[in-house]
Copies of this chain bind each other. A is one copy, B any other.
């Protein structure tokens, strides 16, 4: 946890009172004392510092902070992701890793090779996925919560939603090992927004690729190596970030 984040409605008259894992972190990891200054941020708001006004360093922990917000977080790459619903345990890691790397919106969609049981997972509830996003923000010292949009049916997403969505990006690209194009054919320095798509274990089926191309996306390949979804999502994010410069 490289920044202590709080919700807007936790800030009252310039103060925040913490009694949960954040208080424990301030006591046990930061070893903060009365009067110490720590880095804080308001979720979807500014970053700043806070002074420890009072502290109870035994269980149940309590920390009262006087907050001074001063700056927007560092800019984030303009990258969004379409992700075929992965195994739920993997989704948790992907959400926090991509939030740490910087991502605007993650569209979680269905695909032919997504196991139906994945859709029953609790992680698709906001109450369950939000902590993983906040974990990524706390890691990367950011406050901007990514948006998560869930589409349980492939065709309405790709036929109705995606064509209008895709025109908002400089480039919309889909990872597909059979493609003859490389990533640098599709993404240029100073592109303003990139939407990339990563398929399920086993890949997209041909029908899905065709639908994505019809909806305005470009296919690309990063080579013949077959990657797990989490490895591909993070590695391709790195490649795109490098190309954007």
Contact = CB atoms under 8 A, between A and B. Distances in A.
Interface of A: 2, 74, 97, 100-102, 139-142, 182-184, 222-228, 230-231, 234-239, 241-243, 245
Nearest to A222: B241
Overall SS of chain A's interface:
helix
Count of identical protomers in the assembly:
2
A225 B237 CA distance: 14
A228 B139 contact: yes
A127 B8 CA distance: 51
Contacts of A101: 225, 227, 231, 235
B223 A74 contact: yes
Given A97-B228, A140-B226, A228-B97, A242 B239 contact: yes
A218 B237 CA distance: 23
Contacts of A238: 234-239, 242
A35 B162 CA distance: 44
